[in-house]
């Protein structure tokens, strides 16, 4: 399994150094709607989780994603 930071950096197409816990959807141009959907799909593929509509709306920070994956 890839580290979460790597998955996020790949999907947002940004250097891993820019991925920190407070980074949020909409805070940088690269974390837009399209890349958010790509990221959610990548989380499902990489970690075997299911991202439903509530998760789609709630997993909008790196911290929230980290907590969600850790709980699985």
Partner 1 sequence: MIQDGREPGSGDSSGDASGHGIDREDGRSLRSGFLRHAARAPQATALGVLDRVVSYGELEHHARLWAGAIVDRLGRPAERVGVLGHRSEVAYTGALAALFAGAAFVPLNPTFPVDRTRAMLEAAELDAIIADDASAVQLASLLRAAGRPPVVVLPQAADPHGWAAGVAAGRAIIGAGELAGMTPLAALPPVVVDDIAYLLFTSGSTGQPKGVPVSHGNVVAFLDVVAERYTVAPGDRFSQTFDQTFDLSVFDLFLPWSSGASVYAMRPIDLLAPARFVTKHALTIWFSVPSLPALMRRKGFLRPAIMPSLRWSLFCGEPLPQATAEDWQAAAPGSVVENLYGPTELTIACFAYRWSPERSPAACRDGLVPIGRPFPGLAAAVIDDAERPAADGEPGELWVSGPQTVPGYWRNPAATAARFVARDDLAAQTKRFYRTGDRVQRLPSGDYAYLGRVDHQVKVLGYRVELGDVEAALRAAPGVVEAIAVAWPLEDGGAASGLVGFLTGPAVDPAAVLASVRATLPDYMVPRELRIVTELPLNANGKVDRRALAGQLAQPPEA
Residues interacting with partner 1, by CB under 8 A? 13, 25-26, 29, 32-34, 36-37, 40-41, 51, 53-54, 56-57, 60
Nearer to partner 1 by C-beta: 3 or 28? 28
Instruction: Give the C-alpha separation, 64 to 21, whole Å.
Output: 8
Of 63, 72, 66, nearest to 23 by C-alpha is 63
Question: How many beta carbons lie within 10 A of that of residue 15, not counting itself?
Answer: 8
Q: Rounded to the nearest whole angstrom, what is the least distance from the CB of residue 53 to partner 1 in the complex?
A: 4
Q: Rounded to the nearest whole angstrom, what is the least distance from the CB of residue 1 to partner 1 in the complex?
A: 21
């Amino acid at each position: 399994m890839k580290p979460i930071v790597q998955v996020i950096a790949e999907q947002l197409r940004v250097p891993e150094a820019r991925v920190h816990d407070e980074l949020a959807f909409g805070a940088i141009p690269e974390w837009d709607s399209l890349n958010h959907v790509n990221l959610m799909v990548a989380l499902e593929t990489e970690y075997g989780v299911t991202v439903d509509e509530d998760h789609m709306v709630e997993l909008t920070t790196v911290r929230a994603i980290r907590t969600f994956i850790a709980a699985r």
